[in-house]
């Protein structure tokens, strides 16, 4: 069984990106599963707190999930044309020892995102690439998924209601899962 860790980079209860991640869980190909997580409970990184108390429980859980995963799917919002601070903060916490950046070395990683705007999350996805390169990951470049005008793609309950986007997501997940298996 191929396991992909999926992380939503939004804390909002009605997050379009968390809705996208929930949808992805049900669209994984045969022989694969998506272990979906959010960033709830991850505090702002403070090395003094880390020294005094170690990694907080939510951070330790994310690190264990990453260690056990065959790949990482980042479901990123875009705030002010960039990476959400809360999401980058969680990744920064995950790079701390034990495990540190070794958890990311050679790990297959894909980026997707949803936005109410017309450009999807293209700028945030591009900004993530320098972080992923620094961490030594193996980014998936064989496809791109940016869900534009996402308020029209999900219903009021956060369920995907657009068949075309669902098909694109299913195809993306199949391609990334195959990439992670190689």
Residues 6+ apart with CB under 8 A from 171: 143
pLDDT digits (tens, 9 = 90+) for 105-132: 999 999 999 999 999 999 999 999 999 9
How many whole angstroms separate alpha carbon 17 and alpha carbon 10? 7
| Number of domains comprising the chain | 1
Residue 44 reports pLDDT greater than 90: yes
CATH number at residue 101: 3.40.50.360
Range of the domain at 128: 2-181
Per the CB < 8 A criterion, the answer to whether 97 and 30 are in contact is no
pLDDT digits (tens, 9 = 90+) for 127-181: 999 999 999 999 999 989 999 999 999 999 999 999 999 999 999 999 999 999 9
How many whole angstroms separate alpha carbon 35 and alpha carbon 141? 22
């Amino acid at each position: 069984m191929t396991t992909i860790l999926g992380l939503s980079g939004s804390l909002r209860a009605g997050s379009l990106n968390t809705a996208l991640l929930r949808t992805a869980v049900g669209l994984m190909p045969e022989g694969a599963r998506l272990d979906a997580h959010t960033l709830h409970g991850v505090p702002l990184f403070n090395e003094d707190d880390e020294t005094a108390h170690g990694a907080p429980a939510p951070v330790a859980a994310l690190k264990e999930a990453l260690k056990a995963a065959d790949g990482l799917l980042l479901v990123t919002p875009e705030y002010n044309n960039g990476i959400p601070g809360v999401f980058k903060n969680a990744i920064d916490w995950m790079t701390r020892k034990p495990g540190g950046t070794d958890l990311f070395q050679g790990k297959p990683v894909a980026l997707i995102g949803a936005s109410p705007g017309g450009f999807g999350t293209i700028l945030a996805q591009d900004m993530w690439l320098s972080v992923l390169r620094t961490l030594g990951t193996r980014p998936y470049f064989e496809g791109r998924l940016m869900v534009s005008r996402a308020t029209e793609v999900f219903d009021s309950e956060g369920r995907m209601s657009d068949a075309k986007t669902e098909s694109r997501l299913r195809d993306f997940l199949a391609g990334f899962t195959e990439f992670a298996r190689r």
